[in-house]
A and B are shown apart, each in its own frame.
Chain A
Amino acid sequence: MEYEIQTEKQSLIVKVRGELDHHYADILRKKIDAELLSVRVRNVIFDFSGLTFMDSSGIGMLMGRYKTVRHLGGEIRIVCAEKTATDRYGRSVPDGIERILDMSGVFRFIRRCATVEEALKDV
């Protein structure tokens, strides 16, 4: 996993690339929480466009940040197009990350945006 954290006005933009499992979710969680404590921001925008793998640890990390950010009076946004894969019939189907995001129900309380710019306008 590689990540980049930037601050834009009141939002933290967290770009994550590669594989987000329990090992890296723990690392990312601490980095984000440290930023939330030290910088005057209240929103977190996760850019998952470059994410290639995620398991339930990523969901735990998202839900935890959701709680923290709500305490600060802020919002969370997820940036990525619907992630798809091709099945045995050549049809386009939701990929693993997409299905886990769906299964977890995070989209019931975290809005998804197509681009970081859109997310910044939306928070």
Chain B
Amino acid sequence: MNGKNYFQCEFSARSQNEALARAVVTAFVLPLDPTVEELSDLRTAVSEAVTNSIIHGYRRVFSPQEDPAEEAEVDGREDIRCGETGGEPGATPAGDMEDGMPLIRLTCRYCGPKTVRISVEDFGCGIEDIALARQPMYTSSPELERSGLGFTIMESFMDSLEVQSEVGKGTKVVMTKAFLPPEKE
């Protein structure tokens, strides 16, 4: 199936919405007939991008000092990592808010024969050194038990990955994937 299609949505930067983003992207690409494996790659890459936005894009803007994991209830808790408690005075995200939470924008587009382009955008703190952030095993947040594999996974599970970021404005990750056999086989 070819043709064109486009979809955009915004959701609040809560960790429970990582599953929502995966589900939405799955529904959007199903007409392109991906294999189970390709679909799983795509879902993983989207999950990494959304997690990055929540953890890295918005964390510093909102609650830089306390360990957000400390007082949170284990079950059914809100992701107070970027919660309503607010951060330092003046530290507001560049984008809109909904229910006191910053937003993540997910855009999906068919961009060629059985090919999809997906972007995940936040309006948080931005990345100072993109090349460093993209290095395998690098993490700016070792205290949060991050593995530093996010960008590496996006890169190897998708056909292309582009990272645009501006400090204080936000970060946009653009990825493409074709649901076709590789050319050489």
Contact = CB atoms under 8 A, between A and B. Distances in A.
Contacts of A87: 35, 37
A54 to B, nearest CB: 8
Contact of B15 (A26, A89, A95): A26
Q: Determine chain B's interface SS by DSSP, over half rule.
A: helix
Chain B contact patch, size range = 35 or more
Contacts of B22: 19, 21, 53
Given A22-B15, A22-B51, A56-B150, A30 B69 contact: yes
B48 A96 contact: no
Interface stretch (B83-91, B95-103, B115-123, B140-148): B140-148
Contacts of A12: none
A111 interface: no
B88 to A, nearest CB: 24
A103 B181 CA distance: 23
B156 A103 contact: yes
Nearest to B42: A96
B163 interface: no
Contact of B147 (A34, A53, A63, A86): A63
Contacts of B152: 103
Contact of B74 (A19, A27, A61, A86): A27
B147 A23 contact: no
Given A19-B19, A56-B147, A96 B40 contact: yes
B13 to A, nearest CB: 11
Given A22-B15, A55-B51, A95-B40, A29 B147 contact: no
Given A22-B18, A22-B54, A89-B181, A55 B153 contact: yes
Interface string A103-114: 110000000000
Interface in A57-108: 57, 59-61, 63-64, 85-89, 93, 95-96, 99-100, 103-104
A31 interface: yes
A60 B140 CA distance: 13
B43 A60 contact: no
Interface in B34-52: 35-37, 40-41, 43-44, 47-48, 51
B37 A85 contact: yes
Interface of A: 19, 21-23, 26-27, 29-31, 34, 53, 55-57, 59-61, 63-64, 85-89, 93, 95-96, 99-100, 103-104
